[in-house]
Structure 1
C-alpha cells in the first residue's frame, strides 16, 4: 500500500491559504526567545548521513527546495521536495517528505518552496508492534508543516537512474546501529536509505512480482541477477536477497491512469520514476509519478506431464484457506488446476483445508463438507471422483486463520490407488511405524505424526497415510510447517534479520525426520514421499535436517537453479513447498507447476507440485 498512518501524537496542521501559510512561516522564523528560534537547514542537513536525522525533534524553518511529487489521497497525504543545490556527500539524501495527514497540500510539482515544521522519524508498525519493537526502518519527514511558495514552474532536479550496477550487490551490512554512517557504495539498504525522498528512475523495468490487491508490483533494476526461467528473480541464499528488487506504487489517481495488472516477466517499458518512500509492506517503494507502459510478457500457465503406465503420481497443493462456504468459482478454479494443470494426480496432499464453517469461530472442526465440495468441483472439471482421508484437529489447536482450523488432508483416486485404512486415529494419537509382512506398515492410517510434541504447538500436524499400488506399499506424509509470521523482513533495521519462526520449523523437521527414520529402520526399502508446504527454503536448516545423510532427498534440488521456486514474495521467487522422497523412490519425474505465484490473477498464492514414479522399481 502506498500510505502509512499518522504517527501517534503528531498534530497535523490543516491546509491554510497561501498567504496565511506564508505569514505563519514568517512568524515561525521570528524568534520569540533565543531558545525557541528554529534552525534553517537544507534538506541534506535534515536527512543527515545516518538512518536517523540529526535534527529529529527540532523545529526548522525556511528549508528550501522544489516540489517533486504530491500524494493527494489517503490518510498520509503530503508532498516531496528536493534541493536543486545538493552537497557533495553521497550519504545524505536531497529529498524529503512533508506530512500533511488527511489534508491535501496546496502545492504543485515545480513549486519552489521554503518549508518549516518539526523534524520527525516515523516508523511504520504492524498490529501489536510499537515504534520501539518494530523491525521496520524509519522515514525522516517534516510534520506540523507550513510553507511558502516562492516561485512556480521551476525545473525539477534530475532523477537518478537505477541502471544495472547502480545498486550494490551486497544487500546489507551487519548491525543494528541506526546512527552508523551510511555507505551507499557498500550495500543496497544503505544506498536506498541515502536516496530516501529523492526521485529515482528505472528504464524498461522487468516485473518480478505480480500486481497485488493494493496496486503494487515489484521490478528489478538488476535483470541479469539470479533470473528465473520465466522472468522472475530467484532467492537462492540468505546471503543474496537481491537488492535490485524495488516495489513500485503510483501517485497517479486510478481515474487518471489505472495501475497496470502485471504478471512476472512483463515490462514497464520506457520511464518509471518518482520519489523513494518506505512502508512496512516491502520496505523501499518507488512512488511513481510516471509509470512505464505495461508490456505483457506472454507468461502462460504450465501443465504437468500425466503419469505414464505403471507410474504413481503424487501432488501437493496449498489451496489457501479453502472452506465449504467459498465462492463456487474458487472451487472451480482450484479444480481446474488439479485436473488440467496437475494432470489429476493419483494422490494429492492438500494444505489449508478449513473446517466446514471456515473462519466462523463456532467450535466446528469437521471439514467433510469442504472436501466433498472440492471433489464435486473436480468431477465437474472432468477429473476423477476422488475419495479423501484426514484427521480433524482439536478446535483452535493448529494455528492459521482464527476459527478456520486449517489442516492437511489426502485426496486419492480409488480407481488407481487403494488407501489402507487402519482405525484408531484421534487428534492426539501418534502414528507409529510397525513391522508387517515383507516390510513396514503404519499403526493407524491415516495418522498424525507426534501430534502432542511441543514442536507442533499452534501448528498443523503432519498426516501419514499408507497406500497400496499394484501390490506395493507407498507411504505419503502431508505437511504444513509453522508459518514465517514474526520473522523480521529482509529490509529490517536489524541485519541480518532475525528469523524467529525458523526455530520451531527446525524442531518440526527433527520430529518428522525421526518418524521417517523409524519407517526406514523397520524397512530400509520403504517408499516414502514427504511433501507439502514446509514454509522454508531448500537451503534452510529445517530442510537440511530432513535431507541430512540421504534419508530423504529434496526434489527441488534436481531442477535447474532457474526453476527452483513455486512462490513469489516481495519480488523474490522462492521455494516453500517441497517434495522429498526416500532412496527407494527411483527415477522420479518432478514438476513445479507454475499456475499461481507469478500471476496477478491467481487461485492460490502457491504453485502445486507433482512427482511421478514406478512403485516397487527401486524398493526390492
Structure 2
C-alpha cells in the first residue's frame, strides 16, 4: 500500500511548528527548523553527522529542518512504487539503544541505487506525518531533496536486528506528556520499557523476524499482519484478541514486500496461517498501520486450513435472530457476491428466523442520482437466498432521506429486517417514514410500537449524517419480540493506536455515546410499560464490548451485551490491523435470561471476504 501523498513540505512545516510549540526543539535547531518550515533550510556544521545523530533519542529529530552533508551508510532497501525512495544504514552504531542506525531517503522518483551500495547522502532532515498532522500519527524521520553519491557496490548489508517475543516489551506506550497536550514526541525513548519506543528506536533500521503466526489476513493492498508473540491474547483460530484499551497486543507487526507485485505476487494468507522462515527488511512507518516491515526477503506462507464456521440450527421453540453487515450491497455488485452472502445465510447462519442487515444500499448503489428505494437490492438478495435453498424471506425497512445517513454518497445505506414468515410474523403499523419517530405505547397492559417498522428519534442530533435505528415488532409463537437494528457512527476520525498522543484521541466515540443513550432510553420506555418485554438491540455498533458506548447501551440494566457470554478469546467480529475485536453486537433485555450466542467467523479472518464483518446469531425461547 503506498504511503500518504500529503506534500512533504506541508507535513514538515506542521511538524516543526508543533514541535516548536511543544518546546521539543531548542537553540539553533529551533531556528533552523523554522527556516526549513518556510522552505529555506539553513546550512549547519554537519561534518560529523551520522544517521544516529539524525534519528536522535526522541521521535522528533534534533536536526529537523537542517541540511546535512555526506551522511554515510549502506543501502538496505529500495522502494520503486508508492512513496519512492530507499533506506540506508550506518554499519557503525553508537551503542545507544534509543537511536536508530537507519533512515529513509525520500527521492520522489525511482531511486538509482541498489541494495548493498555504500553511499553518502546530503539533503534536508524532515519529519513527515503520514496522513497529515490532523491524523495524530507519529512522524517518519527522513532525508529529503537528496544528493546521493555511490562510493562502492556489492557491500554486505548491516546485520539485522531480530524482533522477537523476547525483545518487544509487554508495556505498550508511555503516558503522554500533559504539558505537550498528551504527546509522547518529546519523551526520551525507552526501548526496553515500551513496545512503541522499541519499534521507534528501530525506525528505518534493517530488522528481521522468524517464523510468525498471521493475525491479519492478506488485504487488497498486498499486506498482512503477524505477531511475534504467539501467546499474546491468542485464540483457538489463530488471531490475537483486543480485549481492552489497557491490554494492547504489542507483538503485532505489519508486513509488506519491497518487490513490486508485477514481479512477484504477494502471498495470500488467512488468520492462523504461519509466515515461515526469515522475513527481513527495513522498518517503515506509514499511514496504514504504522510500523511496517518492508520485506526485502519474505518468508513462505504455510496454510493452516482455517475453515469458515457454521452455527447450529435453532431448536424447537427457539427463535434465532441474527445481524449481518453486508458491506455496501447494491444491485450492481456481481451476482457472485449475492450468491456467496446468500449461501452464508443458509449454510453458515442456518437460516435465522429474523435477520437484521446493515449497509443495504439503494437500487442504484453509490450513484448519486436521488434514488432512495432499496426494493431491488433486497429482492436480488432474497431471491439468492431462495436459490441457495433458504426460506422465502419477507422484509421490512424504511427508505432514508437522500444523502442524510452517511456512507458512500448516493448509496443511502440503511438497516433492513428479513424474516421467515413460516416461523415468525411481523406486526405492521403504518406511518413510519424517514423523519417520523416511532414511540412506545400501551396496549392492554403490554408495550407496543406506534409505528412498526419505525425509526427511533430520527430528528435527534445523535443521528446527524448517520444511520437511524430501525425498530420492529415481531410475534413468535404468540410472544411479542421487539428488535432494534442499528448501525452506529463509524470510527472514522479516531487517532490510531500508534498516535503520538497516548492515549489516542477517540473523537468518534462522542457521537456513538449519544446514539447509545437514545437507544437505551427507548428500551427503558418499553420496559417501563412491560418489564418482562423481550427486546433485542443489535447491529453494527462500531464499538467494543468494553467501550463507553456499550456501557451507555446497558445503563440501568436495560440491556446485556450477549457477546460477553462467550469466553474472552472468542469475543470478536472484525479484524483490524491484526486485532480481533468486537464491532457487531446483540444486546438482550433482562427477560431474556437464557440464550445461545455465536459470533460466526466467516469473513474477517480471511483474505477472500464477502464482507469485512462476521455475522452474529442469538437463539432463545421467548
Q: Give the TM-score range, shorter chain.
A: over 0.9
Change (3 A) 1:268 1:35: closer
**Range moving further from structure 2, 527-536 or 133-142:** 133-142
Alpha-carbon distance, 1:192 to partner = 1.1
Is the 1:3–1:74 Cα contact (8 Å) retained in structure 2? no
- 1:227-266 equivalences under 5 Å are 227-266=234-273
Q: Deviations over 1:223-250 (max 9, x none)?
A: 1110122101100001122121110000
Residue in 2 that maps onto 1:362: 369
Residue in 2 that maps onto 1:53: 61
Alpha-carbon distance, 1:535 to partner = 0.3
Is the 2:3–2:288 Cα contact (8 Å) retained in structure 1? no
Gap runs ≥5 in structure 2: 11-41, 177-182
Is the 1:40–1:61 Cα contact (8 Å) retained in structure 2? no
Residue in 2 that maps onto 1:415: 422
Residue in 2 that maps onto 1:124: 130
**SS of residue in 2 equivalent to 1:532:** strand
1:343 aligns with 2:350: yes
Alpha-carbon distance, 1:36 to partner = 6.8
Is the 1:40–1:62 Cα contact (8 Å) retained in structure 2? no
Change (3 A) 1:433 1:113: same
Is the 2:2–2:82 Cα contact (8 Å) retained in structure 1? no
**SS of residue in 1 equivalent to 2:198:** helix
Residue in 2 that maps onto 1:30: none
Change (3 A) 1:614 1:377: same
1:186 aligns with 2:186: no
Alpha-carbon distance, 1:188 to partner = 1.4
Is the 2:8–2:128 Cα contact (8 Å) retained in structure 1? no
- 1:233-312 equivalences under 5 Å are 233-312=240-319
Residue in 1 that maps onto 2:30: none
Change (3 A) 1:601 1:132: closer
Is the 2:211–2:277 Cα contact (8 Å) retained in structure 1? yes
Distance (whole Å) between structure 2 residues aligned to residue 383 and residue 206 of structure 1: 37
Q: Deviations over 1:307-356 (max 9, x none)?
A: 10111111100000111222111111111111110001010000011111
Alpha-carbon distance, 1:548 to partner = 3.0
Distance (whole Å) between structure 2 residues aligned to residue 419 and residue 123 of structure 1: 53
Change (3 A) 1:373 1:35: closer
Distance (whole Å) between structure 2 residues aligned to residue 370 and residue 503 of structure 1: 32
Distance (whole Å) between structure 2 residues aligned to residue 330 and residue 75 of structure 1: 30
**SS of residue in 2 equivalent to 1:411:** strand
Residue in 1 that maps onto 2:36: none
**SS of residue in 2 equivalent to 1:248:** strand
Is the 2:135–2:493 Cα contact (8 Å) retained in structure 1? no
Residue in 1 that maps onto 2:119: 113
- 1:79-228 equivalences under 5 Å are 79-102=86-109, 104-125=110-131, 131-175=132-176, 176-228=183-235
1:521 aligns with 2:528: yes
Q: Deviations over 1:11-58 (max 9, x none)?
A: xxxxxxxxxxxxxxxxxxxxxxx9676544111011111111111121
Residue number among 502, 508, 511 corresponding to 2:518 in the alignment? 511
Change (3 A) 1:6 1:117: farther
Residue in 1 that maps onto 2:502: 495
Q: CA RMSD in A?
A: 1.5
Is the 2:520–2:555 Cα contact (8 Å) retained in structure 1? no
- 1:19-38 equivalences under 5 Å are 38=46
- TM norm structure 2: 0.92
**SS of residue in 1 equivalent to 2:313:** coil
Residue number among 582, 591, 596 corresponding to 2:598 in the alignment? 591
Is the 2:50–2:71 Cα contact (8 Å) retained in structure 1? yes
Number of equivalenced pairs:
585
Is the 1:6–1:101 Cα contact (8 Å) retained in structure 2? no
- TM norm structure 1: 0.92
Is the 2:81–2:260 Cα contact (8 Å) retained in structure 1? no
Residue number among 64, 68, 76 corresponding to 2:72 in the alignment? 64
Distance (whole Å) between structure 1 residues aligned to residue 425 and residue 303 of structure 2: 45
Change (3 A) 1:113 1:263: same
Residue in 1 that maps onto 2:581: 574
Gap runs ≥5 in structure 1: 11-33, 126-130, 616-620
Is the 1:465–1:476 Cα contact (8 Å) retained in structure 2? yes
Distance (whole Å) between structure 1 residues aligned to residue 598 and residue 281 of structure 2: 40
**SS of residue in 2 equivalent to 1:101:** coil
Residue in 2 that maps onto 1:21: none
Is the 2:563–2:571 Cα contact (8 Å) retained in structure 1? yes
Distance (whole Å) between structure 1 residues aligned to residue 432 and residue 326 of structure 2: 24
Alpha-carbon distance, 1:503 to partner = 0.8
Distance (whole Å) between structure 1 residues aligned to residue 598 and residue 53 of structure 2: 55
**SS of residue in 2 equivalent to 1:133:** helix
